[in-house]
Structure 1
């Protein structure tokens, strides 16, 4: 009987060790034990908030298993072994926190010594379509397949979740993002998520149809939202806040980077994120690092729809297109850029000379409800560049308080009067954190 029991534990490959830790979120008098997760989670289980959980190495939620996490739970990445949580096709992650008790994935290092890339991140893999002719395998050294033909596939639910200090490199040029989504379907829920101090992208979508609301990135080193391989989902209320002092020196750092694929083919479905009510805040020349680049970088035959949003403070460019096919889709109306407020230090608009000039991009954008600014202060957000305590709420008289237009948009999008991610009520209060380096967990 003992051998059988040990064998079952080996199949689940979940090792539990006890220790002692104290979190600011715990009630006085409680001392939650430490528990370690490693290997495969092949049977459904729940992580309870009375323990601090440590991911040791790459942990996989396998086909048919569901990992449920209670509100207020803290999960840390092991500091000695490259750690990540990967939900395979057919597995589910149910991580539903609350505004008062968010679920936190963070570094295993103590307060004051945490840094981008201390651990891997969260990876969700689903069965929705990509534009790859063969079944793709997710990057980051995880070596797991994703994608399929079920666009309504469900990989679980993430609500009120923070992901901090992720982005460890499996090997050179192959980092894990804060939240990686490979072929994730529309049955999956993504709401109220913050990725902070990621060493690579905040969110990367490889194909799939998943949609989300209230997704925040803060001080990530590379791109904040990266779309590839035929992603066609919808996102409303996105926030990008760049820290001038946090940068990936090996790649350009952008609010959005969007490719149809790495070779700029016209494989279908085209990558075409459908986005509304974003606020992109760049460093506004507070950093001379040339890697701080663009608010939106659409390239390699990708398409897009970005409406009712704010781009401000990016050093090199605001709305940028980099390939003939991408620019042609915008000219032809297959891509949309409407009712946005646009500022950049150097060039608010960058076109493709063979298709549409910078000046003509500006003319077209302004004819479709966009307003261009030479000074970011004229957009009148409360404190967008106060990186330790940012506030992107529109101040009195801000042009962001009006001018949104949802004509012809999908019913997924809530109709607002304001442009950008936040109106008069700041939904980021209570559950987000802009001090993750010093938080006590």
Structure 2
């Protein structure tokens, strides 16, 4: 009899304990998130940001050489308001932000849903040791007290960014704006895949030299350029999409899908900038209502750059699709040092433009060469291109519909790219599903 009573008492206690634990859980039966925790200053020993709490980026945070910052899948990092927050991965340091499609890692504004704006914080800066075409050290932009540019370690490794969103970045720490994600001489052992920027106040992705190779990039609502290359960048990007908000652009500068220079003076500094790009879809505003005047070109190759841009789509660019500026850049294209092959050009403005000397390259010669190299050009916007819903800012669908020319053409081999049977960033699978966010303004974090 006593043993039975003890059993009953033990069972009652266990049930009471379970009930107590359940009352502390959230609706999913999980323990509630822990109190937010701030990170600030220098990180000089390896640190992990866990997904059981929100992390607050308090001012400029530097991950210093020899240290690794690990970020668990599903982690949210918010910028502290009023601190011009930014995350900088220094030479010799690494970030391991390896999310998943189901649990992306989010870097975002510290403001509440409904009140966020481009430039609420700085952004993420990776500083590496790969080759540039600089002969002396160059200051990192945005007022960050670091330099880069003279190392030659092309297989340098700054870590991993995979299934990551960067939202509402773009304020400068001390002077000019920071891009959402900036690569300074980043090496080719660095992994960058499935990264989305949302309403960056400067460029979405900018590459200053280096050899990093990227896949599955998304630029949404960028103020300035979606992809910017400079200072001898010779890495690659395959599968990337950019969609612009017609009403939002940098009022002081043209907003382009791609802008590319060898350097600001168009010198012959070596290595000459030459991004290797394949399966890119650039979606401009297509003269939608209230389109801002500074929306410009799908491709803007200028100041002595080389380029490889193949198997891609330029759709709805406001002022023109393919624009080659400077005699040097035009000669590189004319002589075959640069490539623009197997592409679809369907800009709102003039499809082909150049301000090179007429004896070097005219727009008519550009168009003829594009067509010989497997390209097609349309003047009816998306009617002939037949992407499903590329201009939507709330639920874009970039997949080609039946009969789209994106599903035809002959794929051109490109350095760093895997062969596929379609033009543009998408075939029959939407790789943006599940981890991107087209309504970050109203998402509660």
With normalisation by structure 2, the TM-score equals: 0.91
Structure-to-structure mapping, 1:90-105, within 5 angstroms: 90-105=92-107
Query: Where does residue 238 of structure 1 map in the other structure?
Result: 240
Is the contact made by 2:248 and 2:292 (CA closer than 8 Å) also made in structure 1? no
Query: Where does residue 432 of structure 2 map in the other structure?
Result: 428
Q: Which moved more, 1:192-201 or 1:353-362?
A: 353-362
Q: 2:422 aligned with 1:418, yes or no?
A: yes
Shift of 1:387: 1.2
Equivalent residue of 1:175, what SS? Answer: coil
Structure-to-structure mapping, 1:21-60, within 5 angstroms: 29-60=31-62
Q: Distance in 2 between the 1:74 and 1:209 partners?
A: 29
Q: Distance in 1 between the 2:388 and 2:308 partners?
A: 27
Shift of 1:145: 1.5
Structure-to-structure mapping, 1:42-191, within 5 angstroms: 42-147=44-149, 148-171=151-174, 174-191=176-193
Is the contact made by 1:219 and 1:246 (CA closer than 8 Å) also made in structure 2? yes
Equivalent residue of 1:280, what SS? Answer: strand
Q: Give CA-to-partner distance per residue, 1:142-177, whole Å, 9 cap, x none.
A: 1211231100000001100000000012355x1100
- Structure 1 stretches of at least 4 aligned residues deviating more than 6 Å after TM superposition: 24-27
Q: Distance in 1 between the 2:54 and 2:307 partners?
A: 41
Structure-to-structure mapping, 1:260-409, within 5 angstroms: 260-286=262-288, 287-351=290-354, 352-354=356-358, 355-377=360-382, 378-407=384-413, 409=414
Shift of 1:254: 0.2
Shift of 1:78: 1.1
Q: Distance in 2 between the 1:55 and 1:282 partners?
A: 33
Are the structure 2 counterparts of residues 348 and 68 from structure 1 closer, same or farther at C-alpha, using a change threshold of 3 Å? same
Shift of 1:346: 1.9
Q: Distance in 1 between the 2:102 and 2:322 partners?
A: 36
Is the contact made by 1:404 and 1:416 (CA closer than 8 Å) also made in structure 2? no
Equivalent residue of 2:365, what SS? Answer: helix
Shift of 1:29: 4.8
Are the structure 2 counterparts of residues 171 and 251 from structure 1 closer, same or farther at C-alpha, using a change threshold of 3 Å? farther
Q: Which moved more, 1:347-356 or 1:425-434?
A: 347-356
Q: Which moved more, 1:306-315 or 1:287-296?
A: 287-296
Query: Where does residue 209 of structure 1 map in the other structure?
Result: 211
Residue ranges of structure 2 left out of the alignment (5+ in a row): 1-25
Larger radius of gyration: 2
Shift of 1:26: 8.4
Equivalent residue of 2:139, what SS? Answer: coil
Q: Distance in 1 between the 2:219 and 2:27 partners?
A: 22
Equivalent residue of 1:169, what SS? Answer: coil
Q: Distance in 2 between the 1:278 and 1:187 partners?
A: 22
Q: Give CA-to-partner distance per residue, 1:112-150, whole Å, 9 cap, x none.
A: 000000000000000001111101121001121123110
Aligned length: 415
Is the contact made by 1:39 and 1:58 (CA closer than 8 Å) also made in structure 2? yes
Q: Which moved more, 1:135-144 or 1:110-119?
A: 135-144
Structure-to-structure mapping, 1:222-261, within 5 angstroms: 222-261=224-263
Is the contact made by 2:411 and 2:422 (CA closer than 8 Å) also made in structure 1? no
Are the structure 2 counterparts of residues 138 and 25 from structure 1 closer, same or farther at C-alpha, using a change threshold of 3 Å? farther
Q: Distance in 1 between the 2:404 and 2:245 partners?
A: 23
Is the contact made by 2:285 and 2:291 (CA closer than 8 Å) also made in structure 1? no
Q: Distance in 1 between the 2:64 and 2:254 partners?
A: 35
Q: Distance in 1 between the 2:222 and 2:441 partners?
A: 13
Equivalent residue of 1:437, what SS? Answer: helix
Shift of 1:290: 1.7
